[in-house]
Structure 1
């Protein structure tokens, strides 16, 4: 109960939709109860009808009403079942539709932050499993549990109206099925289900990582090792499922034993209480047979609750996506150039890190200014970029654009920042569609103009399908430099005032690197640029150079002044030029 309360205390995914569709939920529960009530009533009526007919009544009138009721309950049960299935799946599909819409909006709103805080396999696990688990929470746990409890109370109260002693005995016997068995299932089989989910989640994560490096596996001749890694979790899951099936068989057998004891109790009670006359004896079979239709919902209660640990984990995972959502401030008019980007006493440390990666950094960047951030690997350059664009939340200090915290501008972040990094992703669609991602409302002419500006027009128009050429998965149809230029065309189309360059030329050869840098700074000459780099090729394009080391700026100034006054800068610059 404590875990249940903790799970739903701050839940924003399950409880709001239960309240939103509460009337439809009540209808589903009513139809589910009536399905099994009709089944029980049919068996009750049939038991009486068979007994009454066996006495060979003198007139058909004595069994006419039970015959009509048998037909009525026989028709009612499948009708209620069919309508209940339609209603419950309609209810669940409405909720799942809302779930998926909310999930995609959350991922869209926090795409970069989610990418930094979740592995690709985590996101695949959420998309592939967690939403389905929450869907099954209703179909396999909530509905069977509530319907089972309603039937339990109905049987106990119904018998209690005739004999409270027997009712108390049924309360204990059926209580084993509806209370003790579900709790036992959570403690045993539920742990197994949770372990299976963990293995499957790790499998998604590892498989994604290994598939992305599949080329290296093949080159190294370790195909068999690759396949062995995939088979290991599959075998573990298969083993857990065999144990689960074995447990379910014994649980089902035990439930059947309890039902048998319940039937014996009803037979003994009715045999002692309803044998004063032949007419009363007709009810003995009725009471004994009525309990059998309840076996199915009672079994479903244990199975549904045993899966609760998996559902709880899924609920917690999707709720994690809603945490730390920034308050969105009113967006300023982006037609006007911003006046300044300020980094004020910025400090950041990773949760598992021993020290501050960024330590009380401050700087002000003016419109149109070009800044280069240099420093050894691991000094916090990329971390600083993530803080500037809002992917990470600082421990203290803040980043502001015209005195508005960048965390409050995330809704329109694409209107503020254009980002060109080491490995820009091209989707398996046309050249036109890939470039248009920078501005989905851009015309074909505007897209072609951006492609022409980055110097790719001759290449694209020489291809058979020209601008409708598919770039293939991850853009492998083109070279590294061509992929970077297509991404640069996106940024031109995006037309954001601040451009982030996160080592965009690190994987290119020197000639292509020099050409691309010249092109970038020429095409973006009116933009504000923050450029992270390891070396000084193209450094003459920037206005300010800042060396980051131990979380602070160690050297800063314009390139010409630093070359004259800083031996370290002069040495690095000459090394990059081959002197």
Structure 2
């Protein structure tokens, strides 16, 4: 029966979240004990205060009759906030330690798939994983598991304690509290939990649709479908409002039933106290006030359970999504130390993306000698970027091999950065100083080295004229600078890194022709002593390459030096003339 509840079924087969309960079980047990003790102190305070107030309202025969309740009231009054504070420290320390390790595990898992984001995930899915799912797992512990365990502990103590005094009353409380602690929360999971899961589904769709559509909003406007774009999100928002309305209506009905049961318990306690203590243990009113007032602070323990239980359906979706992620790899790549010269060799390379059948590369053979300048050209989708990923070791070929000095590049892992630097279409600059951005290439670089690489890329004068020089903030994504300047700063980082192989992945896309030529000249001049692999979509500047390779339909269609291709390939001559605007 319980296994049919989605969250219980997911936790039973969970290998992502459940291990943290085991790892931090001692802290969890202490937090639960302190949580139960907090409510016991609260109940004890109200019990003693209720008895004391009622007893003090009558003329006591002896002051000693109220001395003990006075002392206990003071003791419980001190212990309740102290224990509550300590419980909050322990429980939040527990959940923060747990979620910090959990986040690390999540980031490690996503990092393994970083190069596959575009092919495996939508942007909305990543936002859901990094934002909603992490907070849901934190709330699963803090708002659901922890309060439920505290409530169950109190439930056992109350039923056993009252049952010792009166077995019949103990059975009655067993039944009524069962309705409050188990039946109504289960009802919430069945009715409102399904609605909440639907609400989460709608929110995930909005995440995905909004990110996708905002990135392509220009296409909506240019195609004359601006109103359709707005209607799409208005309709989704209406569905969310309707679901929330139904959830609120059910929540009010559920809370009303919960308070009716609480009233029934109060009436039962009044009747029981009157029959049990009336005339035998002092004035009846003293005991009625004591027992009834005890219930009010305890009500806080189970009043929150239905709302917490219904949220488990949302948490269940997060659990499923997290458990579909790969486990982070614990294996470390062995240390690889290569000696110059460095040669790249591709032999009969075939590659097909996961979950697709189209072969992107088909039998590519290529040798890149030390210090060679190679241009790789082809149309969009021809396989140029896939080839670049294989060269860097981000992907493994389905067949064939990609070797750097005889070792598969996929085996290098992070060590590949010792040998490869990359400048892509949109070099990213972080929202920090120019100096810090440059030192991503070499953390130990001195200011003199920074000015040297800035001079080499032609930015020293521009930076020196800035108010704060090297300490000038570049703004988010480097928006303070033009496209050409961002590419030059990226080149400066590469020069500081000083790797033997540099991969340029269409670095001049989006630049005007004059800036493009200037950037190309800077790249070729400053990287003349490196092995240079330049992926591009047109032929400007390729005459300065040692070798030119054309990729078409996943295969090498033309290969040779620029001079050889000009002399032997009519198609190359035609493309070159067209690129220069001669035809």
- Tell whether the structures are fold-level matches, with TM greater than 0.5: yes
Q: TM-score, normalised by structure 1?
A: 0.85
2:298 aligns with one of 294, 298, 310: 294
How has the CA–CA distance of structure 1 residues 434 and 208 changed in structure 2, closer, same or farther, with 3 Å as cutoff?
farther
Map of 1:420 onto structure 2: 423
Map of 2:336 onto structure 1: 332
**Equivalent residues of 2:374, 2:548 under 8 A apart:** yes
How has the CA–CA distance of structure 1 residues 379 and 270 changed in structure 2, closer, same or farther, with 3 Å as cutoff?
same
**Equivalent residues of 1:35, 1:81 under 8 A apart:** yes
> Is 1:504 the counterpart of 2:507 in the alignment?
yes
The within-5 A match list for 1:166-315 is 166-204=169-207, 240-275=243-278, 277=280, 279=282, 281=284, 283=287, 286-315=290-319
By how many angstroms is 1:53 displaced?
A: 5.6
**Equivalent residues of 2:10, 2:320 under 8 A apart:** no
Map of 1:563 onto structure 2: 566
By how many angstroms is 1:306 displaced?
A: 2.0
Map of 2:391 onto structure 1: 388
Map of 1:136 onto structure 2: 139
| Whole-angstrom distance in 1 between the partners of 2:170 and 2:402 | 69
Deviates more, 1:430-439 or 1:100-109: 100-109
By how many angstroms is 1:373 displaced?
A: 2.5
**Equivalent residues of 1:348, 1:396 under 8 A apart:** no
| Whole-angstrom distance in 1 between the partners of 2:410 and 2:434 | 33
**Equivalent residues of 2:429, 2:474 under 8 A apart:** yes
> Is 1:574 the counterpart of 2:577 in the alignment?
yes
1:478 aligns with one of 481, 503, 525: 481
Deviates more, 1:18-27 or 1:80-89: 18-27
The within-5 A match list for 1:108-147 is 112-114=115-117, 117-147=120-150
Provide the secondary structure at the position in 1 that maps to 2:549.
strand
| Whole-angstrom distance in 1 between the partners of 2:533 and 2:200 | 43
> Is 1:84 the counterpart of 2:82 in the alignment?
no
| Whole-angstrom distance in 1 between the partners of 2:536 and 2:61 | 103
Aligned residues: 577
By how many angstroms is 1:566 displaced?
A: 3.3
> Is 1:69 the counterpart of 2:72 in the alignment?
yes
| Whole-angstrom distance in 1 between the partners of 2:60 and 2:398 | 88
| Whole-angstrom distance in 2 between the partners of 1:18 and 1:154 | 24
How has the CA–CA distance of structure 1 residues 246 and 324 changed in structure 2, closer, same or farther, with 3 Å as cutoff?
same
Provide the secondary structure at the position in 1 that maps to 2:503.
strand
Deviates more, 1:36-45 or 1:250-259: 36-45
**Equivalent residues of 1:186, 1:307 under 8 A apart:** yes
By how many angstroms is 1:576 displaced?
A: 2.1
**Equivalent residues of 1:346, 1:362 under 8 A apart:** no
The within-5 A match list for 1:355-394 is 355-392=358-395, 394=397
**Equivalent residues of 1:350, 1:357 under 8 A apart:** no
Deviates more, 1:506-515 or 1:141-150: 506-515
Map of 2:164 onto structure 1: 161
Gaps in structure 1 of 5+ consecutive residues: none
| Whole-angstrom distance in 2 between the partners of 1:546 and 1:7 | 53
The within-5 A match list for 1:333-348 is 333=337, 336-342=340-346, 345-348=349-352
| Whole-angstrom distance in 2 between the partners of 1:393 and 1:151 | 57
Gaps in structure 2 of 5+ consecutive residues: none
| Whole-angstrom distance in 1 between the partners of 2:471 and 2:228 | 40
How has the CA–CA distance of structure 1 residues 559 and 70 changed in structure 2, closer, same or farther, with 3 Å as cutoff?
same
Deviations 1:474-504 (A, max 9, x none): 3333332222222222222222233222211
**Equivalent residues of 2:438, 2:493 under 8 A apart:** yes
Deviates more, 1:435-444 or 1:41-50: 41-50
> Is 1:492 the counterpart of 2:498 in the alignment?
no
| Whole-angstrom distance in 2 between the partners of 1:154 and 1:463 | 71
Provide the secondary structure at the position in 1 that maps to 2:537.
coil
| Whole-angstrom distance in 1 between the partners of 2:501 and 2:320 | 36
Deviates more, 1:283-292 or 1:439-448: 283-292
Map of 2:151 onto structure 1: 148
How has the CA–CA distance of structure 1 residues 406 and 482 changed in structure 2, closer, same or farther, with 3 Å as cutoff?
same
Provide the secondary structure at the position in 1 that maps to 2:518.
helix
CA RMSD of aligned residues (A): 3.8
| Whole-angstrom distance in 2 between the partners of 1:95 and 1:496 | 39
